[in-house]
Chain A
Amino acid sequence: EVRLLDSGGDLVQPGGSLRLSCVASGFTFNNYPMNWVRQTPEKGLEWVSAISGSGDSTFYVDSVKGRFTISRDNSKNTLYLQMNSLRAEDTALYYCAKNHVDPTGYSFRAFDIWGQGTMVTVSS
């Protein structure tokens, strides 16, 4: 079964740091670009960051550039999101999500498998 298990969410003070993890199973992890997406009732779904299968290329939404770092350890089938200088507006449910890639290796850039979500709350 293809599965993503994300974890690491917590209550943290403004200015603090947190590292989210996402453990993948049931597929060849290094073949797939991965993403972090967050959700709040106010803003809905917001894509945060993406990383290529090899880890060589990374992308971020402007609001987290310079503060968040996406990375992956393909030997451990694990995706990470290091979150520094956290702000109240980073409070959200964070999901890891896998790109949909067909058997030829073509990435359709849609997210076909999602973790269950991990809650990050930034508050004093």
Chain B
Amino acid sequence: DIQMTQSPSSVSASVGDRVTITCRASQGISSWLAWYQQKPGKAPNLLIYAVSSLKSGVPSRFSGSGSGTDFTLTISSLQPEDFATYYCQQANSFPRTFGQGTKVEMK
């Protein structure tokens, strides 16, 4: 199985900050990488698919990059509604696997 490792596990940030979350795959996954946002008591919400494609309706302050085994989610200017937990997910092979999550907290 492909293991997905996110870092950091949590980050404290302020509104307006630039936030970067990293996801590393245990083997190459080409461009089969997605990012989700989850708020307490809610289902995950797809933000980005295929490494860098923004789902319709997702604000442009979110962006994704990377290839092979190393990927990044960037929030260019953190907004109050962005405090949440973020997960990466590989879709290169079965079983699909998720990272352990990164919690973005208010500083």
Question: Which of B13-21, B41-49, B66-74, B75-83 contacts the other chain?
Answer: B41-49
In contact, B94 and A108 (Cβ under 8 angstroms): no
In contact, A110 and B95 (Cβ under 8 angstroms): no
CB contacts (< 8 Å) of B7 on chain A: these are: none
How many A-B residue contacts, CB cutoff 8 Å? 60
Interface range on chain A (Cβ under 8 Å from partner): 20 to 34
B32 interfacial contact with A, CB 8 Å: yes
**When each residue 13-44 of chain B gets 1 if its CB lies under 8 Å from chain A and 0 otherwise, what string results?**
00000000000000000001010100000011
Interface range on chain B (Cβ under 8 Å from partner): 20 to 34
In contact, B94 and A50 (Cβ under 8 angstroms): yes
Question: Distance in Å from the Cβ of A105 to the closest Cβ of chain B?
Answer: 15
Closest to A43 in B: B100
Chain A contacts to B: CB under 8 angstroms = 35, 44-47, 50, 59-62, 95, 100, 108-112, 114-117
